[in-house]
Structure formats: C-alpha cells, structure tokens
Amino acid sequence: MQESESIARAAQWLRSARRVVVFTGAGVSADSGIPTFRDADGFWTRYPVDEFATWRGLEGALARQPARLAEFLHAVLRPVAMAQPNAAHRAIAALEQHANVTVITQNVDRLHQEAGSTAVHEVHGSLFDVVDRRGQVLDTLSRAAILRIAEDLQRARHRRPIRPRVALALRPWAGIGPDGLYRPGIVLFGDAMAEPAWTDALAIACRCDCLLQVGTSATVMPAAMLPREAKGAGAKLITIDPQGGSGDIWLRGTAADVLPQLLRAAFES
Ligand code: OAD
C-alpha cells in the first residue's frame, strides 16, 4: 500500500471509531529529548538490564558501583526533568476533541498529561511518585525536584566517599524513612504492573475499535499483550514507528511527524 493510501485508510478508521486507544512507549517522547530503551542510543544498550532495571540490581549497583549508578540515574532523570510535550503528545491530546480516547502508556514521564490528555493509564507507574512498600503514594515530586536530584547525583559521583553522597542525593526519591522503605513509583522487571492502571487498561483495550500503537517495540510483557488483545477482540491496529510495525497498517515515521498528519487527514478533510 502507498504511504498516502495507508494514511487515508488509517484516518478513515480513526474517524469512524467510537472508542480509540493510544498505546505509547518511549518513542513518543524521543522528540522531547528522552532516549528510548532499545534503539542504538537507548538506555539498555548502554546499561545492562539486570543491573539497572531491577530493584535488586540497583541495590547491588549502589553497593558495588555507586559512581556508575549515579551516572545511569543522571542519564535517566535529567532528560525527563527537562522534557516538554512534543507534537505527538499534543496531537494525541487533540484527538480528544474528535473521539473517545484513552491513552495507555508505558512511559513514566507524565508528558501525556502535560500535553492535555485527560484519560491516561500509566501501566509502568510514574517517575514522579514516591511510594511506600505497599505502593501507596507518599509524595509527588515536581520536574524541578527531579532535576535537583539529577544534579546532586552528578556532583556526588565525582566526590569521595561516593556511596553515601549518592544515597543522600537520592533521599527525596528513595531511601529509608520513619515508616520504612520508600522508592519511586515505577515498575521495573519482576514487579507487578501498576494498579489499577493495568487492570483498567486491559479492559479498555478489549473494548476499543481502533488502537494506535505509537513508539514502542512492544516487546515487554505484559504490556505488549494490549495490542494483541485489542486486535483479538476486533479492533483495527495502526502502528506508528520509524523502524518497524505490526498490525493492520504501519505508518512509518516519527510520532511527532506522523500523528499531526494523521489527525489532519482524519478530521480536516
Ligand atoms: P523501546 O526502546 O523498546 O522501543 C522504542 C520504540 O520507539 C522502537 O520501536 C523505536 O523504533 C521507536 N522510536 C524511536 N524513535 C521514535 C520516534 N521519534 N517516534 C516514534 N517511534 C520512535 O521502548 P518501549 O517499547 O517503550 O519498561 O519499552 C518498553 C518498556 O521496556 C519500557 O516501558 C521499560 C523498558 O524496559 C520497564 O522498565 C519495565
């Protein structure tokens, strides 16, 4: 199918859908300056998953390689702290003017909400929330507070003794308080999904007519089940990604380029 034909068909599906789900991953925030996980410059190509994407791995990193842990967390936190929604987030928010839209995101950067999306399910939690052992939210940090942590980590990794300085830098976000352990409200490998976001997301995906999969490799379970479940329940599946796509239609390109184009084709013609 020609690219213009694909856009026209996807636009037609979007126009006629009663319920739309937009399922997003790191690629939707790439144009906001946040690296993805598995692209050439992605986090997991620079930092091994077993050391940096599990709580046990992170505890080990603090004990054995605090400077590298501080480098990793600075690399993650600074871009998120500096990020602003891009044209893709804004187009997804604008879609609400035309359809019943639910955003289901694996991202923890809060950019969909900042762009104006009102129904957002963060199935991997939020980097801004600080939670206790049971997952209860104790505090929600601002982008400025996250930037301060990133900068404190950057300083800590160059001054000895490194480990206590890194622990101190992390104190607003992770540590041991009067009521026990507290940590960021994000889902790492081996964790249960964020609730009630996940249960709601699964139910909503199974009831939608059209699912837009944007900027995700859709390799991490169980989140990657959502497009398959939606399709199995009869939804049209449109993928937007520069590298590869699955589903009924693949719109090849960056989210910030393709989504505004798709909205124009669907609702301005
Ligand atoms: P990945 O890094 O696995 O995939 C990013 C996808 O975005 C790839 O398919 C890229 O081709 C695409 N991409 C890159 N730039 C883009 C752009 N400008 N516009 C659109 N697409 C673009 O990231 P995720 O699929 O989000 O979970 O990863 C899923 C989960 O793996 C994350 O939530 C995180 C990670 O480990 C946990 O840590 C549990």
Both tokens assigned to 147:
């930037």
Q: Residue 262's pLDDT is what?
A: 98
Q: What values do phi and psi take at 139, rounded to 5?
A: -160, 155
Point out the residues of the chain with pLDDT beneath 70.
1, 269
Cα gap 126→174, rounded to integer Å: 14
Q: Which residues pair with 241 in a beta bridge?
A: 252
CA of 130 to the centre of ligand 1 (A): 24
- What is the pLDDT at residue 4? 87
Q: Which residue type occupies 38? A: R
Q: Distance between CA 267 and CA 269 in Å, rounded? A: 6
Pocket of ligand 1 (CB under 6 A): 25-27, 30-31, 36-39, 42, 53, 106, 124, 187-189, 215-217, 219-220, 241-243, 254-255
For a substitution probing ligand 1, which of 41, 108, 241 has the most ligand atoms within 8 Å of its CB? 241
Give the DSSP H/E element, type plus range, for residue 139.
strand 137-140
Q: What distance in Å separates the CA atoms of residue 197 and residue 208, rounded to the nearest whole number?
A: 16
pLDDT of residue 2: 74
Q: What confidence score (pLDDT) does residue 85 get?
A: 99
